[in-house]
């Protein structure tokens, strides 16, 4: 089947497709080679004081069984899940408002506020959060003014979580809005005409129909956060670490490239397993719809 | 007689500068099927949404079963609504869809399922309980939506252009069927359409609307044969319009001179006009017949065979717009071809209104 299809396509637009196929293959090869390089580093021994690794070993993976590393993996998973859930909770009403507001002005304002962070770049946004969360930052100044004292926010898990949610929110809102746009507004009206309060209509009609969009956005937020680096690095300040920060420390502070590579491979595997589990759930849900 | 199912008292609804509904008053009796008929944008959906409670009136009161519901939210009004797109819940099967309103009212599942089965039998969908809406044909979806709206035994059934998504062949059958189901359920119904044939075929009474106003409320026969004003006469059914003069008013009847002929018309719309004032006579196509004395004559433009009858379109200088149309039995039209000249005799009675601009 697949073979027939590709020949049919090849006959349809032979010149153009063949012309594009070569650069596509080259790009793919380059990506695969980079990944392979990481893999082969992960399977070689670290020679202290040398940049060039030694012979084949599985030691880099065995060593990860240490509670220290398992702890970072676990924290990373929790931060990813937390970020996904919080940005879904914050993003759902925003996506809803964008779709259902009658006022054009309100729609444009929400879109602007939600989407702008996407164009700011991670570093700028993260410094923004340092200014907001710092000991003499905006939030603490506000707390002090209210006479509530100061709170430790910078370099805490909560602070990192807030910054990660901010980074993820635009994508979540865009994906949720795309999913919610498929739900006919008449369905909510039908539920109300049948005697359901708006709340009941939401939980029995709107929410179930939003599930595919919620799962897609949540999955993306989860995977997106897994690769976060600058945010936990700067807002976490070494006290809150994710896998990427550990990889950075081992690779560029200790120059233990093989172990850094092995951690990266494990992180990739963990992402893949999590995504597979989520997509299984998504498929179940979509079958029921 | 029992209290009226629905009563609107001077209901007005504005959207900014647009007044979608001007002081509309209407009564629907228990079990009655009333149609809102009018061109696009005349306020039909607005009126229906006000009855349903999706909007609140700026002025006026709405009563269901004698009780004012003007400030009652949709979900407490006990209405049944069928939407243009049916709005069946895609993640529920037919039985769950139909049970939705009963469950929202807190009815236990077992009891609800009994009522659902009964409603599905009524719309002849028994056996399709487990299907999802997308696995139903258009007509079946329509009947499922009808069952869902009827199973809660609503105080009024509201239908907004429920046939517009269906092809012509299916419509006729469903019109008859919906009317039979409605009659069996004995539910007062407000039906919206811009299709005059649909309105004439289905309704106990028709409310003809335009520009946010209800122009006339009457049985299909009344609206067709005794239109209250020019708009109704022009919108419901075809008509040839001839300019004439008012000869005089006698009781409820007016005499109209059109050329050499004298026609009778309802006097009500012409009160206040002086003798000799210009009036427009509206002639239904089936009241025109070949022969003399000729009321009008013209060159045949086209002969359109319609099965049971033939529509003959004439170019006619004395008619408004230069066009006239006659509906003849196929036998009478057999010799006619485009280009031939046809003389038509008129009826003794027609509808007439003050001329729009002085002759
Ligand atoms: N939400 C709204 N905001 C502003 N104007 C509206 C709104 N709803 C309706 N209108 C206006 O009110 C008038 C009546 O609209 P309505 O939808 O009731 O017409 P309708 O008779 O149902 O027409 P159609 O046959 O096209 O459905 C129109 O001029 C319309 O533009
Ligand atoms: Mg409408």
- 10 Å CB burial of residue B49 (0-12, 13-18, 19+) is buried
Q: Is the pLDDT of residue B341 over 50?
A: yes
Angstrom distance (rounded) from CA A118 to CA B141? 43
A52: number of Cβ within 10 Å: 7
Taking CA–CA distances from B76, the nearest residue in chain A reads A195
3-state secondary structure of B24: strand
Residues near ligand 1 (Cβ within 6 A): B 15, 18, 20, 38, 40-46, 194
- pLDDT(B353) > 80: yes
**With an 8 Å Cβ cutoff, are B101 and A205 in contact?**
no
Contact B242, B340 (CB under 8 A): no
Length of chain A: 289
**SS3 sequence of chain A:** CHHHHHHHHHHHCHHHHHHHHHHHHHHHHHHHHHHHHHHHHHCECCCCCCCCCCCECCHHHHHHHCHHHHHHHHHHHHHHHHHHHHHHHHHHHHHHHHHHCCCHHHHHHHHHHHHHHHHHCHHHHHHHHHHHHCCCCHHHHHHHHCCCCCCCCCCCHHHHHHHHHHHHHHHHHHHHHHHHCCCCHHHHHHHHHCCCCHHHHHHHHHHHHHHHHHHHHHHHHHHHHHCCCHHHHHHHCCCCCCHHHHHHHHHHHCCCHHHHHHHHHHHHHHHHHHHHHHHHHHHHHHHHC
The stretch A36-54 carries a mean pLDDT of 88
pLDDT at A9 over 80: no
Of B87, B149, B158, the CB nearest to A187: B87
In this complex, how many residue pairs, one in chain A and one in chain B, have their CB atoms less than 8 Å apart?
63
Q: Is the pLDDT confidence value at A109 over 80?
A: yes
pLDDT value at residue B164: 87
Examine the pLDDT at A10 and tell me if it is beyond 60.
Answer: no
Quick: pLDDT tens for A180-196.
999 999 999 999 999 99
The pLDDT assigned to A4 comes to 41
Mutation target for B interface from A179, A194, A289: give the one with most B CBs within 10 A. Answer: A194
Tell me what pLDDT residue B217 has: 98
Return the sign of the alpha-carbon dihedral for residues B29, B35, B41, B42. negative
Please tell me the predicted confidence (pLDDT) of residue A13: 61
Give ipTM to 2 decimals.
0.86
Domains of chain A: 65-288 (1.10.3720.10)
Residues 161-190 of A with CB under 8 A from B: 184, 186-187, 189-190
pLDDT at A7: 45
**In the numeric block, which tokens belong to residue A280?**
């299984």
- Name the percent of chain B lying above pLDDT 90: 81
Which residue in this structure is represented by tokens 């946010």? B212
Asked if residue B188 has pLDDT above 50, the reply is: yes
Are B234 and B79 contacting, i.e. CB atoms less than 8 angstroms apart?
A: no
Euclidean distance between CA atoms B338 and B310, whole angstroms: 13
**Residues of chain B contacting A289 with CB distance shorter than 8 Å:** 90-91
N-term to C-term CA, chain B: 49
Instruction: Report whether pLDDT(A92) > 60.
Output: yes
For residues B127 and B79, the answer to whether their CB atoms sit within 8 Å is no
pLDDT at residue B65 tops 80: yes
Query: What average pLDDT does the segment A33-59 reach?
Result: 89
Question: B47 C-alpha vs ligand 1 centroid, how far in Å?
Answer: 10
Share of chain B above pLDDT 70, in %: 99
Match 């009344």 to its residue by tokens. Answer: B222
A192 shares contact with chain B (CB less than 8 Å) = yes
Report the residue of chain B nearest A210, measured CA to CA.
B91
CB distance from A200 to chain B under 8 Å? Answer: yes
Judged by its nearest atom, the ligand closest to the C-alpha of residue A102 is 1
**Looking at residues A104-132, what average pLDDT do you find?**
87
- What is the distance in A from the centroid of ligand 2 to the CA of B35? 13
Q: Which of B79, B84, B91 sits opposite A193 (nearest CB)?
A: B79
pLDDT of res. B185: 94
Ligand nearest to the CA of B54: 1
The B205-210 sheet, strands edge to edge: B79-82, B156-160, B189-193, B33-37, B205-210, B213-218
Q: Give the residue-averaged pLDDT of A230-255.
A: 90
Instruction: Delineate the domains of chain B, giving CATH numbers in brackets.
Output: 6-230 (3.40.50.300), 238-354 (no CATH)
CA of B196 to the centre of ligand 2 (A): 15
Window from A50-59, B88-97, B125-134, B212-221 with minimum mean pLDDT:
A50-59
pLDDT at B335: 81
Nearest-CA residue for atom 30 of ligand 1: B41
Cβ-count burial of A50 within 10 angstroms (0-12 exposed, 13-18 middle, 19+ buried)?
A: exposed
**Could you tell me the pLDDT band of residue B358, with boundaries at 50, 70 and 90?**
low
Confidence bin at A12 (pLDDT 50/70/90): low
8 Å CB contact of A200 and B152? no
Helix (H) or strand (E) holding B62: strand B59-64
**Distance (Å) from the C-alpha of residue A211 to the closest C-alpha of chain B?**
11
Q: Which residues of B touch A196 (CB under 8 A)?
A: 75, 100-101, 104
Separation in Å, CA of B182 to nearest CA in chain A? 18
What pLDDT score was predicted for residue B2? 62
Residue B160 Cα to ligand 1 midpoint, Å, equals 13
Q: Whose CA is nearest to atom 1 of ligand 1?
A: B15
Ligand nearest to the CA of B21: 1
A182 token code pair: 């498929």
Residue B58 has a pLDDT of 97
- Going by DSSP bridges, is the β-strand pair B189-193/B33-37 parallel, antiparallel, or unpaired? parallel
CB-CB contact of B312 with B326 (8 Å): yes
pLDDT at position A148, please? 85
Q: Rounded to whole angstroms, how far apart are CA atoms A138 and A93?
A: 26
Angle between helices A122-133 and A104-120 (to 10 degrees): 100
pLDDT, tens digit, 9 for 90 and up, residues B239-274: 999 999 999 998 889 999 998 899 999 999 998 898
Expressed in angstroms and rounded, the spacing between residue B50 Cα and the centre of ligand 2 is 12
Query: Is residue A135 pLDDT above 60, yes or no?
Result: yes
The pLDDT of residue A3 is above 50? no
Looking at beta carbons, which residues of chain A come within 8 Å of B78? Answer: 195
Count CB atoms within 10 A of the CB of residue A269: 10
Question: For the stretch A32-43, what's the b/e string if a residue is b when 16 or more beta carbons lie within 10 angstroms of its beta carbon?
Answer: eeeeeeeeebbb
Chain A CB contacts of B149 below 8 Å:
193-194
Is B101 an interface residue toward A (CB < 8 Å)? yes
- Closest ligand 1 atom number to CA of residue B42: 21
Cα of B20 from ligand 1 centre, angstroms: 6
Contact at 8 Å (CB) between B262 and B247? yes
Q: Are B87 and B149 in contact (CB under 8 A)?
A: no
Chain CA centroid to CA B33, Å: 11
The backbone torsions φ and ψ at residue A103, rounded to the nearest 5 degrees and listed phi first, read: -85, 125
What rounded mean pLDDT belongs to chain B?
A: 93
In this complex, which of B91, B104, B148 lies closest to A196 when CB atoms are compared?
B104
Give the mean model confidence (pLDDT) for residues A131-138: 86
Confidence of residue B338 (pLDDT cuts 50, 70, 90): confident
The dihedral built from the CA positions of residue A117, A119, A123 and A124, taken in this order, carries a sign that is negative
């Amino acid at each position: 089947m697949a073979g027939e299809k590709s020949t049919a396509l090849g006959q349809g637009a032979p010149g153009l497709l063949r012309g594009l196929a070569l650069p596509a293959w080259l790009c793919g090869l380059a990506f695969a080679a980079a990944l392979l390089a990481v893999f082969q580093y992960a399977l070689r021994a670290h020679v202290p004081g040398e940049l060039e690794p030694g012979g084949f070993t599985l030691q880099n993976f065995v060593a990860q069984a240490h509670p220290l590393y398992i702890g970072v993996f676990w924290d990373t998973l929790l931060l990813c899940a937390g970020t996904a859930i919080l940005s879904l909770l914050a993003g759902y009403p925003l996506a809803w408002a964008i779709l259902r507001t009658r006022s054009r002005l309100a729609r444009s304002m929400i879109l602007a506020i939600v989407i702008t962070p996407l164009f700011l770049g991670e570093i700028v946004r993260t410094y923004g959060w340092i200014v907001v969360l710092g000991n003499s930052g905006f939030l603490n100044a506000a707390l002090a003014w209210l006479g509530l004292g100061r709170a430790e926010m910078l370099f805490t898990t909560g602070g990192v979580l807030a910054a990660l949610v901010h980074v993820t929110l635009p994508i979540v809102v865009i994906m949720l809005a795309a999913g919610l746009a498929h739900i006919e507004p008449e369905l909510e009206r039908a539920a109300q005409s049948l005697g359901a309060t708006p709340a009941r209509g939401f939980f029995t009609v709107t929410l179930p129909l939003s599930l595919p969009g919620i799962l897609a956005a949540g999955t993306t937020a989860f995977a997106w956060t897994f690769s976060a680096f600058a945010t936990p690095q700067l807002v976490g300040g070494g006290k809150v670490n994710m896998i990427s920060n550990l990889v950075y420390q081992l690779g560029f502070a200790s120059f233990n490239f093989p172990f850094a590579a092995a951690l990266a491979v494990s992180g990739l595997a963990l992402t893949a397993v999590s995504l597979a589990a989520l997509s299984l759930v998504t498929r179940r849900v979509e079958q029921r719809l | 007689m029992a209290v009226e199912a629905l009563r609107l008292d001077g209901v007005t609804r504005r959207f900014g500068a647009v007044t979608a509904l001007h002081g509309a008053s209407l009564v629907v009796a228990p079990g009655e099927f009333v149609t809102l008929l009018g061109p696009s944008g005349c306020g039909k959906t607005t009126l229906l949404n006000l009855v349903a409670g999706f909007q609140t009136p700026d002025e006026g009161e709405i009563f269901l079963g004698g009780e004012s519901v003007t400030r009652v939210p949709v979900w407490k009004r006990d209405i049944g609504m069928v939407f243009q797109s049916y709005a069946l819940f895609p993640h529920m099967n037919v039985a769950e869809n139909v049970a939705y309103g009963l469950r929202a009212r807190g009815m236990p599942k077992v009891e609800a399922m009994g009522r659902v089965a009964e409603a599905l039998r009524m719309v002849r969908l028994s056996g399709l309980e487990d299907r999802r809406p997308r696995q139903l044909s258009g007509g079946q979806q329509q009947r499922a939506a009808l069952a869902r709206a009827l199973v809660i035994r609503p105080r009024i059934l509201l239908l907004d252009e429920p046939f517009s998504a269906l092809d012509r062949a299916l419509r006729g059958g469903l019109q008859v069927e919906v009317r039979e189901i409605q009659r069996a359920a004995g539910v007062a119904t407000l039906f919206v359409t811009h299709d005059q044939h649909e309105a004439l075929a289905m309704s106990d009474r028709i409310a003809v609307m335009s520009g946010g106003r209800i122009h006339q409320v009457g049985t299909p026969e009344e609206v067709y044969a005794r239109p209250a004003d020019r708009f109704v006469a022009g919108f419901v059914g075809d008509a040839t319009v001839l300019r004439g003069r008012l000869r005089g008013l006698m009781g409820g009847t007016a005499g109209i001179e059109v050329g050499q002929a004298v026609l009778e018309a309802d006097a009500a719309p012409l009160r206040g006009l002086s003798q000799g004032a210009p009036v427009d006579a509206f002639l239904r196509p089936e009241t025109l017949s070949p022969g003399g004395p000729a009321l009008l004559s013209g060159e045949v433009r086209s002969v359109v065979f319609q099965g049971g009858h033939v529509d003959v379109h004439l170019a006619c200088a004395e008619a408004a717009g230069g066009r006239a149309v006659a509906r003849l039995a196929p036998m009478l039209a057999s010799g006619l071809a485009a280009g031939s000249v046809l003389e038509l005799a008129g009826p003794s009675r027609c509808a007439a209104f003050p001329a729009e601009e002085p002759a």
